Amino acid sequence: MVENLFQNYYLSSFIAVTVLATFATRIIPFVFFERHTEHPLIKHLGRYLPAAVMALLAIVFLQRSATWSLPVIGLDALIPGALVVLVHFWRRNALLSIAAGTLPYMAIQQAGLF
């Protein structure tokens, strides 16, 4: 009985801390930047952060997804990656670019082509 009560208290406190942390991370930008909508830091982050995140995602994808021991090294990840770049330069549509890379990648992985 005491163990069950302790476990319920532990889980409830864990959920409460998680809720408070999530709420705090969501409200802090509005509290600190409510008067500074044109703050230079916000402009700088808005200009450079999306490209940096996409580059980081591409590097992690190539590092973790490719099979680097094949005769043609990394081809299972390089082909879909190249398709993403080509489709994005062609159409400038992020959703289409993601689909153009995801579908061939999943087909290659499921079929075991490379």
pLDDT, tens digit, for every residue of 33-57?
Answer: 777 667 788 788 888 988 888 888 8
Rounded mean pLDDT of the chain? 85
User: What percentage of the chain carries pLDDT values higher than 70?
Assistant: 90
- In angstroms, rounded to a whole number, what is the distance separating the alpha carbons of residues 99 and 11? 39
Binned at pLDDT 50, 70 and 90, residue 70 comes out as: low
- In angstroms, rounded to a whole number, what is the distance separating the alpha carbons of residues 95 and 86? 13
* pTM over the 0.75 mark: no
Residue type, 89: F
What are the residue boundaries of the structural domains of the chain, listed by start?
A: 1-32, 40-114
Task: State the chain's maximal CA–CA distance in angstroms.
Answer: 65
